[in-house]
Structure 1
Amino acid sequence: MARNSVLILAFTSLCIASALADWNILNQRIRRHGAKDSLKTYCESWRINVELNNIREFEVVPQECIDHIKKYMTSSQYKADSQRAIEEVKLYLSGCCSLAGDGKDAWIFDVDDTLLSTIPYFKKHGFGGERLNASSWEAWMKESKAPALEHTLNLFHEIKNRGVKIFLVSSRRETLRSYTVDNLIHVGYHGWASLELRGLEDEYKKVQQYKAQVRKRLVKEGYRIWGVVGDQWSSFEGLPKPKRTFKLPNSMYYLS
C-alpha cells in the first residue's frame, strides 16, 4: 500500500512539473486556436509595442511577422489609424492655439511616412524584413516618386492657411535636397517656411539629437512650436519639447 502511494505521488508530481513547464501563453493559444492564430496575435502585439515605443532599436521586422506588417501597412486599418491621428491634430488645433499673428507661430512635420509614403520602396524590400540599406533607399528617394499621404497633405494646407509657419525637419541628408523639394512640390506640398536636412556636421548625430537641435534653434529665434507630426519617436524626443506631438503609425523601421 505504501509503495503504491509513493508511486502515485511521484506520478502526480511529474504531471504537475510537466504542466508548469508547458504553461506558456503561446502554447496554450496554439492548442486552442492553432499556430496561425497565435502567430497573428504575436505579430500584432509586436507591432503595437513598436508604436508604444516599448520595442526600440530594432533593425529588422521579425521574419515571421513580415507578412503581417505588409498586410497592415497596405490595409484600410493603417489608413484609418493615420486618419484618426490627424483628426486628433485638428481637434487640438480647434482650441489650443492663441495665434499671435506675428509670424512666430510654428508647426513641424517630418517627411518620410509623414508627408511622403515610402511604402512603394518597402514593397520591393520586404516591408522591414531586410536591414535598411541607406544607399538603396537614397537611390529611390532620388527618383522623386514617393506619393503623398493624403491625410497629412490636407492637414499641411489647413495649418498653413491658419497663418502658421511650417517647418519640415527630415533625417534625409542635405545631398537629397533638390530631389526632396521636387517630390514634395510634385505631389502638392508648397509654401513651407524651411526644409531642414542633415548636413555634414549632423552625419554622426542620432536623429533625435539632430531634430532636438533644430527645435532649439527655432525656439531661440522666437518661434512657438505648437505641434510636431511624425512617424518616428525620434521626431519628438529631446529638449525643447513642443506643446503637443502626434505619432503616425509605422512599424517597418526604427530611426533613433
Structure 2
Amino acid sequence: MASSVHHLLFIINLLIIPTTLLSQSIIQMPPRRHRITDDNLYCDSWRFSVETNDAGTWTSIPSRCVAFVQDYMTGDRYLSDSAAVANYSLSFARGFRSEEMVRTLGSSTSMRLCSPICPTIRRMDSGLNSYGHRSVTFDEASFDEWVDLAEAPALPASLKLYKELKHLGFKIFLLTGRSEHQRNATAKNLLYAGYNNWERLLLRGPSDQGTTATVYKSEKRSDLINEGYRIHGSSGDQWSDLLGFAVAQRSFKLPNPMYYIA
C-alpha cells in the first residue's frame, strides 16, 4: 500500500569550488558586514528580486526606491533590458521558421510602458515623502480613462520583435487582462502604435471576471491548444502572463518593477 505521507522538499543548488582554487583568492570579501545604506544599490537589488519573482507577491514600490524606479523606467536601462529580452525571444523563434508559432503578448508588452505603467509614471511626482517621491496605488477609474485615450506608444523592442515574427510567418495572438468592453480602444491603440494583422485579440469576457490573471491567461492558452495550436513562445511583463498551465515551450519575462499582478 502506497504511503500517504507527503515530503516537503527545498532544493538548494550549491556552488562547489575545486580544491585547487581554495588557496586562491577568487573574491575578496570585506572583513566585516556593513549595512547597505546606498539607495541605488538597495533598490537595484530590490528590482532584481521582484523581476526574478524571488520577492513573490508585492504591493508597492519601497519609498526609498520610487525615484530609482522612475529613472529606470524613463531612462536607457529599461529600453536596453527590454531589447535584450526581445533579442533572446527572436533568436529562439528563428529556430521554428518552418513551423507555426503562437505568440501571446500581454498588452503591457505590446504597448510600451502601459497597463497601467504610463499613467502611474505621470503621477509618481504628484506627492512627496521623506525621499521626495511617493508611489501611487492603482486606480481603476483613472486607468479606464487612460485606456480610452488609445495613445500608448509601442515599446520599440517589442514592436520590432512583432514585425520580425510576422516576417517569419508566425501567427500572433495578443492576450490581455483588459475587459471586452475595452476591445475597440485597445485595437485602436495597437494600430496607432504600429501593430497590425494579429491573429486574434483576447480580452476578459463576462465569464472571466473574478479569476486571477494566472488562471485567466492559462485558460485562454488552453483554449488555443484545444483548437490545435502549439504554443512555442510567450512573453509578458508579469509572471502571471507566463505561469500556470498550458504554458509555452519558452517564456520570456520583460522587465516591470512598477507593479505586480497575481
Q: Which residue of 2 aligns with 1:14?
A: none
Which structure would you say has the larger Rg? 1
Residue 199 of structure 1 deviates from its aligned partner by 1.3
Aligned-residue Cα RMSD (Å) equals: 1.8
Q: Is it true that 1:173 corresponds to 2:169 in the alignment?
A: no
Please tell me whether residue 245 in structure 1 is matched to residue 251 in structure 2. Answer: yes
How far apart are the structure 2 equivalents of 1:88 and 1:47?
Answer: 21
How many residue pairs get aligned? The number is 221
- The unaligned stretches of length 5 or more in structure 2 are 1-31, 126-133
Residue 122 of structure 2 corresponds to residue 124 of structure 1: yes
Distance 1:200 1:160 in 2: 31
SS in 1 for 2:173: strand
Give the drift of 1:211.
0.3
CA distance in 1, matches of 2:179, 2:40: 37
Q: Which residue of the other structure, out of 178, 202, 217, is the alignment partner of 2:208?
A: 202
| Equivalent residue, structure 1, for 2:220 | 214
Greater share of helix residues, 1 or 2? 1
State the match for 1:255 in structure 2: 261
Q: Is the 8 A contact 1:108 1:227 kept in 2?
A: yes
Match of 2:141 among 103, 114, 135: 135
**Alpha-carbon offset, residue 105 of structure 1:** 3.2
Within-5 A mapping of 1:1-256: 25-26=34-35, 29=36, 35=37, 38-95=38-95, 97=96, 99-100=98-99, 105-118=101-114, 119-126=117-124, 129-256=135-262
* CA–CA distance in structure 1, aligned partners of residues 143 and 33 of structure 2: 40
Instruction: Please list the CA deviations of residues 42-75 of structure 1 after superposition, one character each: whole Å capped at 9, or x if unmatched.
Output: 1111111010001122221111110010011111
Identity level (%): 33
Per the alignment, in what secondary structure is the counterpart of residue 153 of structure 2?
Answer: coil
Instruction: Assess if the C-alpha contact under 8 Å between 2:120 and 2:136 holds in 1.
Output: no
* Equivalent position SS for 1:225: coil
User: Which stretches of structure 1, 4 residues or longer, exceed 4 Å deviation after superposition?
Assistant: none
Q: Distance in 1 between matches of 2:41 and 2:259?
A: 20
Give the structure-2-normalised TM-score: 0.80
CA separation of 1:113/1:25 partners in 2, compared to 1, >3 Å: closer, same or farther? Answer: farther
Q: CA deviation at 1:226?
A: 1.2
Question: How much has 1:253 moved relative to structure 2?
Answer: 0.5
